[in-house]
Chains A and B, each alone.
Chain A
């Protein structure tokens, strides 16, 4: 069975600094997708970025980039130039291609951006 691990329960980052959120995964399936979602205090789940297991390049979406290291089975999220509005819970999730959409989530990392 696949497993998602986020080892950082919480972290503080100063405004305008970059922050890296760790995510490791465990699966023997060669075909999978990795996602990051943001959950602000208001509760909604906001899709941030996606990386496919066969993608050669690291995914980027604006200030978000995914540092995909397949051999290490890690998919870290990098947020550049942090803003106060980035304060939220961040979840890493994985799905396998043969059951696409069946997301398994990590425990999440709480990020607090300080002025």
Chain B
């Protein structure tokens, strides 16, 4: 089992540039989550999908952030334009919807916006 796959693992970009983070969930999982981890705010949920449909995007910081899940095996998180305060580790996680099921996290993408 390949686990949750995220790319890139590291991204360094300049302020104002568009950034796209990618995630492939575990095959068969039908819920996908995007988290952001910073020293100041800890781990926070940005958005989650169930059966490819966005269910709750209340954690998305502002309109510069958008997420899509065009099919069951792929999701993107886009930041446009990026700002230095977006620097963080972004995690994607997936699970099979249902009580008692744990989430499996990807390795994360470390984003640095200069």
Scan residues 48-81 of chain B and give those whose CB is less than 8 A from a CB of chain A. Answer: 48, 55-56
Which residues of chain A come closer than 8 Å to B91, judged between CB atoms? 45
CA distance A101 to B33 in the complex (A): 8
CB atoms of A35 and B102 under 8 A apart: yes
B1 within 8 A of A: no
How many residues in A have their beta carbons less than 8 Å from beta carbons of B?
Answer: 23
Candidate in A52, A103, A104, A106 with the most chain B CB atoms within 10 angstroms? A103
B85 within 8 A of A: no
CA distance A91 to B43 in the complex (A): 9
Q: Is the interface of B mostly helix, strand, loop or mixed?
A: strand
Closest chain B residue to A55, Cβ basis: B100
B97 within 8 A of A: yes
**Measured between C-beta atoms, what is the minimum distance from A55 to chain B in Å?**
9
A13 within 8 A of B: no
B95 within 8 A of A: yes
Candidate in B44, B104, B105 with the most chain A CB atoms within 10 angstroms? B105
CA distance A88 to B95 in the complex (A): 24
CA distance A42 to B108 in the complex (A): 10
What is the interface of chain B, defined by CB distance below 8 A to chain A? 31, 33, 35, 42-45, 48, 55-56, 89, 91, 93, 95, 97-105, 107-108, 110
What is the interface of chain A, defined by CB distance below 8 A to chain B? 33, 35, 37, 43-47, 50, 52, 91, 93, 97, 99-108
